[in-house]
Homo-oligomer: A and B are copies of this chain.
Amino acid sequence: MALTIYQLTVPAFIQGFGVLGKLLDKAEAFASEKGIALDELVNARLAPDMLTLAGQVQRVSDTSKGAIGRLTSIEVPRFPDEEKTFADLRERIAKTVAFLETVQPTDLEDSGSREVTLNFPTLKVTFSGEEYLSKFVLPNFYFHLTTAYDILRHKGVPVGKADFLSLA
């Protein structure tokens, strides 16, 4: 048995953005109940040199649309990282999901055998499309989604694993 690259990307990413939206809902309700400024949550982070909540949402967005860009010939929209409010973060999520919804299974048909090269400041890595997906995209997507969750959890927002796994 096998899963198509479409199955492993578009619907999984859209589920992830649904989770992220729900985390933001619970964060807003918590801030309102506790009299915490929403800015404090948007700018919260787990270490001084880690990305903030806003930064995690931006990277979830970029990881998902960047994966489609590298695995297909589709031109991917660019979204500047300018989000400063919960409304901005929701708009970033909505724009990313709107883009993902335009991607068709056929667009990803030949993606597993594509050569994908990532250029990092001190390193250049070449993967097959399949390896890029299983060893880079999926870990990275869930890394930023989980870290958004962990930031909110650390700030006291009552989110739980059922939210993260869309079981609630």
CB distance A125 to B167 under 8 Å?
yes
**Which residues of the other chain, B, contact A138 by a CB distance below 8 angstroms?**
12, 138, 142
The answer to whether the Cβ of A150 comes within 8 Å of any Cβ in the partner chain is yes
Known: A156-B47, A167-B123. A1 touches B110 (CB 8 A): yes
Choice from B1, B7, B135 contacting A15 with Cβ under 8 Å: B135
Distance from A100 Cβ to chain B, minimum over Cβ atoms (Å): 15
Instruction: Kindly state the separation between the CA atoms of A120 and B50 in the bound complex, as whole angstroms.
Output: 34
Segment touching B, from A30-38, A75-83, A86-94, A126-134: A126-134
Distance from A163 Cβ to chain B, minimum over Cβ atoms (Å): 11
Choice from B8, B47, B136, B165 contacting A3 with Cβ under 8 Å: B8
